[in-house]
Amino acid sequence: MKRVNSSAPYKIDLTDNFRSSVSQLKKAHYKKDTASGAAFEAVLDGYFLKFEKAPHAVPSSRAEPWPAKCHDERFKFYKSDFHMPGLSGASGQGRIMWLVCDGTTTVHVVWVYTHAQYGGRPSDKGLRVELNSAMEGAIKALRERAESQSNAAERPKG
């Protein structure tokens, strides 16, 4: 996975869970097939470029239902399907999930998996943990930004 562009409209946050899920997929499917493994990384890099520019308008993506007791209106949750290079059947059906916070212009990439791993999607409990973790940092940043703007507005000029 390549370094993302720091001057793009949106910043990319690759969560620990996302990094772990990439490692698991590479170990399970691409240990011996390095060409397909490189193609898998290229697919992910393509998503990162789309996330940096317009994370709400990624082709073949859709808004994903929130797990119970997790929804926050400051965020949008998405999922997209893609073909896993070199794989077929349920293993060849890749999925990537991300969370967008327009207030911090950040895309939190939370999970990548195959249909063989999860027939529908990861458990609501697992998703809730990952989404809450990603949102926690963004909410703190939003709060700090609001406080900073409030303090700047209250300072006397001159």
Domain ranges of the chain: 11-154
| Assigned token pair, 112 | 């990548």
Reduced to 3 states (helix: H, G, I; strand: E, B; else coil), residue 77 is strand
Taking only the tens place, the pLDDT of each residue in 26-75 is 999 999 999 999 999 999 999 999 999 999 999 999 999 999 999 999 99
Taking only the tens place, the pLDDT of each residue in 92-131 is 999 999 999 999 999 999 999 999 999 889 999 999 999 9
Q: What is the DSSP letter of 76?
A: E
**Does residue 6 register a pLDDT over 80?**
no
- Is pLDDT larger for residue 79 or for residue 148? 79
Task: Give the start-end residues of each E strand in 15-157.
Answer: 61-63, 75-83, 93-101, 106-114
Just give the CATH number of 11-154.
3.30.2310.20
Chain-centroid distance, C-alpha 157: 42
